[in-house]
A = this chain, B = another copy of it.
Amino acid sequence: MRRPTIKDVAELAQVSLKTVSRVINDESGVRARTRARVHEAIAELDYRPDPSARSLRSAQPYALGVVYDNPNPYYIISVQNGVLAACRETGYGLQIHPCDSSSPLLAADLIDLVQGARLAGLVLAPPMSERMELVSELVAHGIKLVRIVSAAEDPKDGSPCVWVDDRDAAYDITEHLIQLGHQRIGFLWGGKSHRSSWERYKGYAQALADYGIGEDENLVLPGDYSFDDGFRGARRLFALPDRPTAIFGSNDEIAAGVLAAAKSSGMHVPYDLSIAGFEDSPFSKQSWPTLTTARQATEEIARHAAYRLIAELRRETDQPVEAPANEGFSPILVVRGSTAPPRPAGGPGGA
């Protein structure tokens, strides 16, 4: 069977080729009734515009790339879904590109990716988004991008971004624990290649300082954003002679590890130990007890970032998109079952 052409559509709809073309390209200047007739003819013939011809006309690449290096599936899926929402609303495809943020070849790889796959631009997730030498190299190669970064305010570094105020939310979590009566609060770091780890630590330290609680360096342990580091960190904290009554894990994965360590030591959470995480992952709602955490609107953040990029891409075209500015998002404290006042001293202990 011969593939129907634009000419067949024009004949069936009894309009000119130019009118069909206008309808296909969603241009103005075609009356509603004519437009409907063309659409009917397209449907009847099962006509589909030749995509390569279409691309030549617009000469516009059609997919964004989302670049991430993060072991957390929930975070990644949320970023993907947010970017996808913007892509679908504006007609872009989405290519995914997980990568090794520590690779010395990363810049070259990303340049190859964008040029080889003709991507319109990139959405960079942390920690790539926070490595300015990488960002500069990509920009120098003419690559359009937007970054999702952790920062307490607009970094105003000349590169478009959406920033997440992790410090503020970490402050709120720590304050919540202090207000419950905790004085000895453990802190388990995320990976130090992530700006968010530093910001969350700063929020923790600032809250302690504001409430006049001296920071005990034994209670602050390095690690990564992983369950295993949460588990190991918690066991180290449990072994201290004067162990903490609460532990703030830098994300929900870490908090999940702390919870498992507490249960495997026979502790009752929250009575023997309060635990807080960060992210509002599904785990935090499904664990027993459920986890106190900070809700990050990751999907909305990613959608906003993608729009920031698309507005830039469309700025000089005939299909402009309203240009959003850099914008900040603040995660919100969510109090659940894993935090409570500490047991009075001398009361029944855990393991």
Contacts and interface: CB of A to CB of B under 8 A. Distances in A.
B62 A84 contact: no
A270 interface: no
A260 B288 contact: yes
Contacts of A61: 51
A159 interface: no
Nearest to A257: B286
**Copies of this protein chain in the complex:** 2
A179 interface: no
B62 A117 contact: yes
Contact of A118 (B52, B74, B115): B52
A282 interface: yes
Given A93-B95, A95-B93, A286 B59 contact: no
Contact of A115 (B51, B80, B287): B51
Interface residues of A, number: 41
B84 A98 contact: yes
A257 B282 CA distance: 11
Interface in A281-323: 282-283, 286-288
Contact of A288 (B51, B84, B94, B263): B263
- Among A84, A112, A116, A286, residue most surrounded by chain B Cβ atoms (within 10 Å): A286
A264 interface: yes
Contacts of A94: 95-96
- Among A51, A111, A257, A264, residue most surrounded by chain B Cβ atoms (within 10 Å): A51
A189 interface: no
A149 interface: no
A80 B287 CA distance: 26
Contacts of A146: none
A131 interface: no
A118 B51 contact: yes
A256 interface: yes
Given A77-B77, A93-B117, A94-B96, A52 B51 contact: no
Contacts of A63: 63, 93, 95, 117
28 contacts: A48-B111, A48-B112, A51-B115, A51-B116, A51-B118, A52-B55, A52-B56, A52-B59, A55-B55, A55-B118, A56-B56, A62-B117, A63-B117, A73-B73, A73-B74, A73-B77, A73-B282, A77-B77, A84-B96, A93-B95, A93-B116, A94-B95, A95-B96, A96-B96, A227-B282, A227-B286, A260-B286, A263-B288
Q: Which 5 A-B residue pairings sit nearest by Cβ, starting from the closest? A: A263-B288, A73-B77, A73-B73, A51-B118, A93-B117
Given A52-B59, A56-B56, 9 more contacts: A52-B55, A52-B56, A55-B118, A62-B116, A63-B117, A80-B96, A96-B96, A259-B288, A263-B288
